[in-house]
């Protein structure tokens, strides 16, 4: 399996950094080759243009922006979803990673 790119998007790109770490740990434990990174909502558009992204996961605080990103994501073949609020609040990296992997199937 080729390395997969998962982009998390939040208001400032900082609140998701702990979630990224937990997702990376879960991916390592499973032997998965994934690149997981977080960006602010302002940076997301340019990242979509410059990087091959497989999945875009929006933090609950920017769920209202899903429509804004969806058209561009669909054009580029990027799966997009909003992170479950409970999983986000609990920083459940394993469940968020599971959802991202589901979206890639």
Q: In sequence order, what E strands does the chain have?
A: 4-10, 34-40, 55-58, 79-82
Token pair for residue 42? 């302002």
Token pair for residue 99? 């959802």
Catalytic residue among 6, 7, 9, 10: 10
How many angstroms separate the CA atoms of 66 and 78, rounded? Answer: 13
Q: Is-catalytic flag, 10? A: yes
Token pair 């997981």 is found at 36
Q: Catalytic amino acids?
A: 10
């Amino acid at each position: 399996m080729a390395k997969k790119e998962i982009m998390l998007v939040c208001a400032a790109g900082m609140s998701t950094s702990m979630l990224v770490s937990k997702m990376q740990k879960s991916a390592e434990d499973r032997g998965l080759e994934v690149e997981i990174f977080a960006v602010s909502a302002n940076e997301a558009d340019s990242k979509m243009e410059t990087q091959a992204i497989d999945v875009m996961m929006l933090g609950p605080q920017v769920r209202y922006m899903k429509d804004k990103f969806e058209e561009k994501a669909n054009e580029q073949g990027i799966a997009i979803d909003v992170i479950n609020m409970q999983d986000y609040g609990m920083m459940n990296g394993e469940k968020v990673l599971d959802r991202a992997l589901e979206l890639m199937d």
